[in-house]
Structure 1
Amino acid sequence: MNPPSLSFRARARLSRSAGALLLATAGLASLAGCANYAGIRSDKQPLDVARIDTAQSLPTQGGQWPTMNWAADFGDTQLSSLIAEALANNPSIAEARARLDRAAAYAAGADARRYPRVDGHYSVKRELYSGNALYPEPYGGSWYTENNASLSASYELDLWGKNSAGLAQAISEQRASAAEEQESRLALATSVAQQYNALAREYALFDVAQAEARERQALGQISAARFSAGLDTQVETRVSDTQIATSNTLVSQLQGSITVMRYQLGALLGKGPDRGLAIARPQMQPLPVSALPDNVPANLLSRRPDIVAARWRIDAATQGVTIGKADFYPDINLSAAAGFDAFGFGHFLQFGSRQIQVGPAIDLPIFDAGALRARLKDRYATFDTAVATYNDTLVRALTEVATQIAQIRSIEQQQHDAQAAYDAAAKAYQLAVIRYQGGLSTQLQVLDADRALLQQRQTLVTLASQRRDQQIGLIKALGGGFDSAPPPRRDALDAMTSPT
């Protein structure tokens, strides 16, 4: 159905209406001072990473940034599979994905507001008019059918950029949600890797405990032989029995710990405890010496998902302030409708049943008891909060990287010293056993050497596990392979504090 063309007279009326609209707009804009945002501003600024002192704590070392497949660097294919399984099933990831979908839907809605809206309408109404009311005979007391069909269109003139800012805000929120989803994925992946590393540590300690139990069994055989030869008393044999039982207790304790950690891994995978029991023994390999990439502070802005998300939140809050300022100016909407309206069906689509409506609408806040100013202050508070969150996130991220690399360096030195201590303890234990077999020393000296050797073995296992754990932490601190173009840098002071 095409609406009939407008007559010359109708076009003249529309031209006069357009002129009146422009005059009204100018007049209303001049009244905008009645409700204004004078004095509402913010002096908060995002930290400039170039002004943060990191030269000593984060030196350039020529290292590589983590890749998205960083788990494969540990040489254990099962670890990569477990991380992929956890990411596919964990509820926290599903929640982050739902937030991202909601942000995308909001952005689509904000984009739709920038375009005209067209609606079609049709209604048919059967009505009995009262014979004792408004309508005289022959209408009063009779039934009539009214048909109405129309096509209407409306468009909001975005003179002050409110709708465009709304779209930009929605896109920034969507990008922030996308970065937050990556942060959730990284946190889960590193949690799985660290739990898997803890399981590897318990297995290594289990091996140490079993080796210790075998050595104490051998020592018990030596004590029994010496007792048979009359060289030892029952005291030494009973002490050997006690040491053997203690070693077996430690083996059982570690077996229980391994089972519990399997259950915990099953939970991280989003499965039941039986899934954890199906996990094979970890085969994680040590990573090479860690080295920081070049220019960590500046590059971290695009590689840490939490920093990227915080920066997009600032951009979204900036657009929110733009929207808040635009609320003080007139809203101008253009609308038009054309169609047919008639009683009955016989004249419904005839030329004489046509109806056309065209007209602008202008809304201007003049006095609202401070409601608009309050809303704008709230938007500035949101901006200040976003800046504070970003600044805190940036400082915390730089500190995490520096802390992780310092701990790795410390552990590497401890490993060097612990290896020297282990070599000495192993040699001392061998000599003590030989002397004990030859009757040149007592059992007490052997037990002292044995305890020192056990401690050094456990220390080496613990330090190796801690080093892997800190390296996983460094991978997380460096963004875990995430890389996103940073949000557009804008001078927030100029954008936020100068009323226009």
Structure 2
Amino acid sequence: MPALKSLALAGSALILLSACTVGPAYQRPDVTASAAALPATYKALDGWKVATPGDLIDRGDWWTLLGDPQLDALVAKVNVSNQTIAAAEASYRQARALVREQRASLFPTIDLSGSATRSGGSGSTTSSSGGSSRGQRYQAGIGASWEPDLWGRIRQGINGAKASEQASAADLAGARLSMQGELAINYLGLRQADAEIDLVTRTVEGYQRSLQITQNRYAAAIAPKSDVLQATTQLAGAQADLESLRQTRATYENAIATLVGEPASGFRLAADPAWRAHVPEIPAGVPSTLLERRPDIAAAERRVAAANADIGVARAAFFPTIGLSANGATSGSALGDLFSASANTWSLGLTAAQTLFDAGARKARVEQARASYDASVADYRQTALAAFEDVENQLTAAQVLERRYALLKTSSDAADQTEQMLLNQYKAGQVAYTDVVTAQASALSARRALLTAAVARQTTAVALIQALGGGWKPQA
């Protein structure tokens, strides 16, 4: 009993000591390493404040801002069947399991064992009558061991695993956002190809009519053969452009198939004649708190926290490890003897170990952990600074493209009128066909530039959504 009391007192003291920790307290690092503070607003848009990472905010169905039900259906497939997202989700489950494994180290380990043996032999040494002797033996035992977390090594390991789990969750959100954005970009590219195919097809039909006009005029000796050759050249060039656009469309369609987890050979996405390049309006006062929703920033910050916990784990190696153990065993020649008091044995133990000399290995591990922490801080700062750059670029691009689209619309309307006027004048014999060719080429170029600018505004909106972490509304 005195031994039991002493061991109980020692265990109580160890439990109290286990509240100690030798790891550094974690503080989220500043985004900039210099003393200069981040600006309160973005250059490209007023009314934005500085943000901090927060990866737990729901990003919402941001793609619905583009107003395309077919895109909505494809994104739903990406969320379920995309293999990049599936891999990130598996990594997240692995990180969650690692947290549970680390947490289990806080509790005792209990083992149960049992055995049964039967032995026998023959000869004069075992029996006076020269017969045989056989015997059997049963054993059962139970043991428990526990290493109190005196210096916070286990708790720091748990904190690091939790931070890694949160980083993995952010990686999953980032993979999902990236795949959704990539699908939207490819879908818009496909729809742009469809619109250009339709535009160039109508242009080819117009060029065919122009060729017929020049052939009729040449046959009537009104126009030279060079007009026919020019019209033929222009028509063949437009038809060649049409074939290139069909190849581009097929490439986008195959990319979409891979993103939604389907074989490209069996995937078809029909053209949508009713499709129009709808550009979501960007609210003038979007707050920079949306930058908190960038999963890459959240993941980088959580990895800083995990690296900080690793420093505590490395420091704990300088302190002794102490363990408690308890074992009980019983044995007998029959199963009934296992439960008799005379067959039972027990033991209680207290162990301690301390490394006295390791030629600086522990110190080197602490320095490694500190260096890893510094590297993760630098990665976090670089990620955050790049995010601010990304948002600034996309905001500027959205403003510039809006103005550029208006100018291209004016240019395209004027080119259409010029083309029709010169074609009418050519029919009346007032201008050379060279003027018509030039006007038609300019009109087609202006129409395609206008379409490209419209889709560019859409893709810039998608890029801005991704730069902000997804969605426009902070309360989403």
Q: Report the TM-score when normalising by structure 2.
A: 0.86
Partner of 2:61: 69
- DSSP-derived class of the 2:2 partner: helix
- Report whether the alignment pairs 1:195 with 2:181: no
- Of the three residues 39, 42, 53, the one matched with 2:39 is 53
Alignment of 1:152-171 (within 5 A): 152-171=143-162
- Of the three residues 367, 390, 397, the one matched with 1:407 is 397
Residues 58 and 233 of structure 1: CA distance in aligned 2, closer, same or farther (over 3 Å): closer
Give the counterpart letter for 2:452 in structure 1: T
- DSSP-derived class of the 1:174 partner: helix
Residues 24 and 215 of structure 1: CA distance in aligned 2, closer, same or farther (over 3 Å): closer
Residues 483 and 471 of structure 1: CA distance in aligned 2, closer, same or farther (over 3 Å): closer
Q: Could you list the per-position Cα deviations for residues 314-354 of structure 1 after superposition, in whole angstroms to 9, with x for gaps in the alignment?
A: 11111111121122112221111223223444533211111
- DSSP-derived class of the 1:51 partner: coil
Partner of 1:332: 322
Residues 239 and 58 of structure 1: CA distance in aligned 2, closer, same or farther (over 3 Å): closer
Partner of 1:209: 200
Question: Is the 8 Å Cα contact of residues 290 and 468 (structure 2) preserved in structure 1?
Answer: no
- DSSP-derived class of the 1:339 partner: strand
Which is further off, 243-252 or 390-399?
A: 243-252
Residues 483 and 429 of structure 1: CA distance in aligned 2, closer, same or farther (over 3 Å): closer
* C-alpha distance in structure 1 between counterparts of 2:201 and 2:75, whole Å: 30
Which is further off, 120-129 or 88-97?
A: 120-129
* C-alpha distance in structure 2 between counterparts of 1:459 and 1:228, whole Å: 36
Residues 62 and 377 of structure 1: CA distance in aligned 2, closer, same or farther (over 3 Å): closer
In the TM superposition, residue 42 of structure 1 has moved relative to its aligned partner by 12
Give the counterpart letter for 1:81 in structure 2: A
In the TM superposition, residue 459 of structure 1 has moved relative to its aligned partner by 0.6
Partner of 2:54: none
Q: Pairwise CA RMSD of aligned residues?
A: 3.6
Residues 247 and 66 of structure 1: CA distance in aligned 2, closer, same or farther (over 3 Å): farther
Identity %: 26
- Of the three residues 423, 427, 436, the one matched with 1:433 is 423
Partner of 1:277: 268
- Of the three residues 222, 244, 259, the one matched with 1:268 is 259
* C-alpha distance in structure 2 between counterparts of 1:23 and 1:341, whole Å: 34
Partner of 1:233: 224
Q: Report the TM-score when normalising by structure 1.
A: 0.82
* Aligned residue pair count: 457
* C-alpha distance in structure 2 between counterparts of 1:336 and 1:314, whole Å: 40
* C-alpha distance in structure 2 between counterparts of 1:24 and 1:249, whole Å: 82
Partner of 1:395: 385
- DSSP-derived class of the 1:114 partner: coil
- DSSP-derived class of the 1:121 partner: strand
In the TM superposition, residue 456 of structure 1 has moved relative to its aligned partner by 0.5
Question: Is the 8 Å Cα contact of residues 28 and 301 (structure 2) preserved in structure 1?
Answer: no
* C-alpha distance in structure 2 between counterparts of 1:472 and 1:304, whole Å: 14
Q: Could you list the per-position Cα deviations for residues 1-55 of structure 1 after superposition, in whole angstroms to 9, with x for gaps in the alignment?
A: xxxxxxxxxx112234556789999xxxxxxxxxxx9xx9999944259922363
Gaps of 5+ in 2: 16-21, 50-56
Residues 19 and 203 of structure 1: CA distance in aligned 2, closer, same or farther (over 3 Å): closer
In the TM superposition, residue 401 of structure 1 has moved relative to its aligned partner by 0.9
Partner of 1:3: none
Question: Is the 8 Å Cα contact of residues 75 and 284 (structure 1) preserved in structure 2?
Answer: no
Q: Could you list the per-position Cα deviations for residues 224-263 of structure 1 after superposition, in whole angstroms to 9, with x for gaps in the alignment?
A: 3433544212222232233223222322332233223222
Question: Is the 8 Å Cα contact of residues 429 and 450 (structure 1) preserved in structure 2?
Answer: yes
Alignment of 1:251-262 (within 5 A): 251-262=242-253
Question: Is the 8 Å Cα contact of residues 147 and 322 (structure 2) preserved in structure 1?
Answer: yes
Q: Could you list the per-position Cα deviations for residues 211-233 of structure 1 after superposition, in whole angstroms to 9, with x for gaps in the alignment?
A: 21122223233323433544212
Residues 346 and 461 of structure 1: CA distance in aligned 2, closer, same or farther (over 3 Å): closer
Give the counterpart letter for 2:407 in structure 1: D
Gaps of 5+ in 1: 1-10, 26-36, 486-500
* C-alpha distance in structure 2 between counterparts of 1:252 and 1:333, whole Å: 76
In the TM superposition, residue 179 of structure 1 has moved relative to its aligned partner by 0.8
- DSSP-derived class of the 1:277 partner: coil
Residues 46 and 148 of structure 1: CA distance in aligned 2, closer, same or farther (over 3 Å): farther
* C-alpha distance in structure 2 between counterparts of 1:236 and 1:403, whole Å: 48
Question: Is the 8 Å Cα contact of residues 290 and 469 (structure 2) preserved in structure 1?
Answer: no
Question: Is the 8 Å Cα contact of residues 280 and 461 (structure 2) preserved in structure 1?
Answer: no
Q: Could you list the per-position Cα deviations for residues 291-329 of structure 1 after superposition, in whole angstroms to 9, with x for gaps in the alignment?
A: 465441x5423x001111111111111111112112211
